[in-house]
Amino acid sequence: MTPAEQGTSRLTRVPGVLYGGDYNPEQWPEDVWAEDAKLMREAGVTMVTVGVFSWARLQPGPDTWDFPWFDRLLDLLHAHGVAVDLATATASPPAWLVRAHPEILPVTADGVRLEFGSRQHYCPSSPAYRAAALRLTRTLAARYADHPALALWHIHNEYGDHVTECFCPRSADHFRIWLTHRYETIDALNHAWGTAFWSQRYGTYDEIEPPRTVPGPVNPTQLLDWRRFCSDVLLECHRAEREVLKELSPDIPATTNFMSMFKALDYWKWAEHEDLVSDDAYPDPADPRAHVNAALNYDLMRSLKGGRPWLLLEQAPSAVSWRPVNVPKKPGVQRLWSLQALARGADGIMYFQWRASRAGAEKYHSALLPHRGTASRGWQETVRFGAELARLGEVTGTTTPADVAIVLDWDSWWALESDDHPSARMRWRDLLHPWYAALHARGVTTDFVPPHADLTGYRAVLAPNLHLLRPEHAARITAYVQGGGHLVCGPFSGVVDGHDHIHDGGAPGPLRDVLGVGVDEFWPVPDGQAVRLTSGAEATLWTEWTETEGPETEIVDTYASGELTGRPAVTRHPHGTGTAWYVSAHLGDGIGPVLDDALRAAGVRPVLDVPEGVEATVRTGEPGTYLFVLNHSDHDTRTPLTGAFAAGGTDLLTGAAVHGHLALGPLGAAVLRIATDSPGENQK
Ligand code: GAL
């Protein structure tokens, strides 16, 4: 058995860690394909994504199809042992289609119709687009369902990329239909949208339009429903294609590539319609903390299907081409960041793209096979890393345990970032990031959960912000604490209900009992200013005038400068057999000590005590337990192997036995198969 055959990936029938990338052969003469296939083999590529932007080539006219070239391509890949992730090709409608049906082109909130000449130029509500997309999907599925190369269906590409909403008349109709399903009566809609305000009352559904550009502030609930609708309408397109694939090709898993933590799509809902979660991730090599943000996104991807392995479907081998300045990955970074995805539950590492384009908007984007060809540094890394991944097959199918969960709710994110709030500076990612970074720095692995999740398995649950909170979700959180859980809740939470109406009695609304505080008034901090706390922490962006409610609420920290001096800033409240912390300010990196208090009380321990800049995570299951240790710093590190890892193990990357401590150079990494008590039992 080759090492790659030792583990069977649970994502597809392809064994081992999936390795490959987007392959766009239509950009190349056919004689290049043979070289591609040979080089893929040399690099250890096991799967490539084909067809993503092939619509115009596969269907050159309304009733003309051109499949022989695609047949030859799939046969060639199969002959070289490369499996295919076959795209439905529906993300870039051909010119003939948009000229025949100009209404396919999307329209902005200002009424501008976006022209042909880029990609993703479609209105998701357009019947002509949908019919053409489904016809293409059906034709592809019928032709290739039984092709031996086919291992995965790739539905569309990055739903919501470039265009997340369309304001054309057809979309407006569709929005009205969606609203009638949601509210049934117009009275219910009027109530939900608070249309008594500013004379916005509607007499019939026909009077409603999408939230186009308006003279002043738009109705916030109209906007919130619009965001829900836009996520749902793209999901409808996705589900329609998926149904065709399930009908004609039921044995092949189907996925669509998510875009990490992406505001426009409620990925909790979407993930229910994925056989496996796949992600496109483009951390910026110019950002020294990029790996922390990447960890966050990978934890989300793992969480979207309750911890099941996921697939990193796209990342850049080096530089991208779409930032103002596109810095390459220095040697070792792409390997380290790829292993990071694996460390956080991925079972496949893929890239955009296989061969660097010579023309088009992405000709400066890096590729596994760069313009300079096999002499390039990039190609050498491609081959070297392929060989390394082939040694990691046994980790596939194992999972990444986490004691801590962060609550993420797209509804709340959308409501938080509505206009005309006490401060426009309260952005979900900015609020979340310091909390996640504190956990990351402490070596604590974190899941994400939706607000309706069962929280009972977690030692601690963090809610950096839950601006919109439905009473039923608050009841779940409260029951979790009541039953012994540990909750830390951030500022500006429990403010509005599912209609974006302020909760009775103000914030924290239905969390008042569990938190033991009431918020008297929001006190945002002007730009460039800070408020001191007694502990020495500093609040920026946001503070609140809070009052403890009930004798049991303990004041953990108080404001020590400005108008709120002496008032509670951070509180702790016992509830049932658990404890709830309320943090009324944005503390940025100063959130660490508050989380330490909660993690200590909850008995949360790091995976392993690691030096600064080193990340450790565990994957466990059949056939073993694997400790990933990654050195993101630019200096040598020494990590003692203690606790559950005291027996040491075998580094799958090198085959070396490791005991006592792990020495890693700059950007170094190790994947230790942890020795069991009876030596040799778990060894190959
Ligand atoms: C992704 C997209 C790919 C390619 C890549 C470049 O968003 O799916 O087709 O454009 O970005 O980084």
> What contacts 117, CB < 8 A, 6 or more positions away?
none
Which residue matches tokens 């496949």?
A: 348
Residue 320 Cβ contacting ligand 1 at under 6 Å: yes
Model confidence band, residue 665 (pLDDT cutoffs 50, 70, 90): very high
Smallest CA separation from ligand 1 atom 11, residue: 352
Mean pLDDT of 596-616: 97
- Domain architecture of the chain: domains with CATH: 3-163+235-395 (3.20.20.80), 169-209 (no CATH), 404-602 (3.40.50.880), 614-674 (2.60.40.1180)
Residue 23 Cβ contacting ligand 1 at under 6 Å: no
In the three-class reduction of DSSP (H, G, I as helix; E, B as strand; rest coil), residue 351 is classed as strand
The pairing of strands 460-463 and 486-489 is parallel
pLDDT tens-digit series, residues 533-592: 999 999 999 999 999 999 999 999 999 999 999 999 999 999 999 999 999 999 999 999
- 13 CA from centroid of ligand 1 (Å): 25
Mean pLDDT of 229-243: 98
Residue 202 Cβ contacting ligand 1 at under 6 Å: no
- 33 CA from centroid of ligand 1 (Å): 21
Percent of the chain exceeding pLDDT 90 equals: 97
Q: Residue 322 annotated as binding?
A: yes
Rounded CA-CA distance 373/354 in Å is 11
Q: Residue 168 annotated as binding?
A: yes
Residue of 517, 447, 519, 455 lying closest to 487 (CA atoms): 455
Burial grade of 245 (CB within 10 A; 0-12, 13-18, 19 or more): buried
Residue 500 Cβ contacting ligand 1 at under 6 Å: no
- 317 CA from centroid of ligand 1 (Å): 12
Rounded CA-CA distance 24/70 in Å is 11
Rounded CA-CA distance 348/341 in Å is 9
Total Cβ atoms within 10 A of residue 653: 17
Asked if 429 contacts 262 with a C-beta cutoff of 8 angstroms, the reply is: no
Written as six digits, the tokens of 597 are 């208090």
Average pLDDT, whole number, for the chain? 96
pLDDT in the model for residue 677: 57
Active-site residue, 521 included: no
Catalytic residue among 274, 314, 538, 544: 314
Q: Residue 28 annotated as binding?
A: no
Ligand 1, residues 54, 157, 158, 255: which to mutate, most atoms within 8 A of Cβ?
A: 158
- 441 CA from centroid of ligand 1 (Å): 30
Q: Residue 123 annotated as binding?
A: yes
Q: Which atom of ligand 1 is nearest to the CA of 322?
A: 12
Residue 53 Cβ contacting ligand 1 at under 6 Å: no
Active-site residue, 158 included: yes
In the three-class reduction of DSSP (H, G, I as helix; E, B as strand; rest coil), residue 255 is classed as strand
Rounded CA-CA distance 115/82 in Å is 37
* 2, pLDDT greater than 70: no
Axis crossing angle, helix 428-441 with helix 290-304, rounded to the nearest 10 = 100
Residue of 223, 273, 268 lying closest to 246 (CA atoms): 273
Helical H segments across 55-156, by residue range = 55-58, 68-79, 95-100, 127-144
Rounded CA-CA distance 602/48 in Å is 44
CA atoms within 13 A on the CB side of 398: 26
Residue 284 Cβ contacting ligand 1 at under 6 Å: no
Written as six digits, the tokens of 289 are 């903390």
Q: Residue 166 annotated as binding?
A: yes
The partner residues of 64 in beta bridges, in order of sequence, read: 61
For residue 579, what is the enclosing H or E element?
strand 578-583
Residue of 550, 574, 582, 555 lying closest to 566 (CA atoms): 555
> Beta strands of 479-566 (E only): which ranges?
486-489, 517-522, 531-532, 538-539, 544-548, 554-558
CA distances (Å), 533 to each of 426, 464, 559, 566, 672, in order? 20, 19, 4, 9, 43
In the three-class reduction of DSSP (H, G, I as helix; E, B as strand; rest coil), residue 460 is classed as strand
pLDDT tens-digit series, residues 399-444: 999 999 999 999 999 999 999 999 999 999 999 999 999 999 999 9
- 289 CA from centroid of ligand 1 (Å): 22
The pTM of the whole model exceeds 0.85? yes
Residue 282 Cβ contacting ligand 1 at under 6 Å: yes
Rounded CA-CA distance 15/9 in Å is 5
pLDDT tens-digit series, residues 97-126: 999 999 999 999 999 999 999 999 999 999
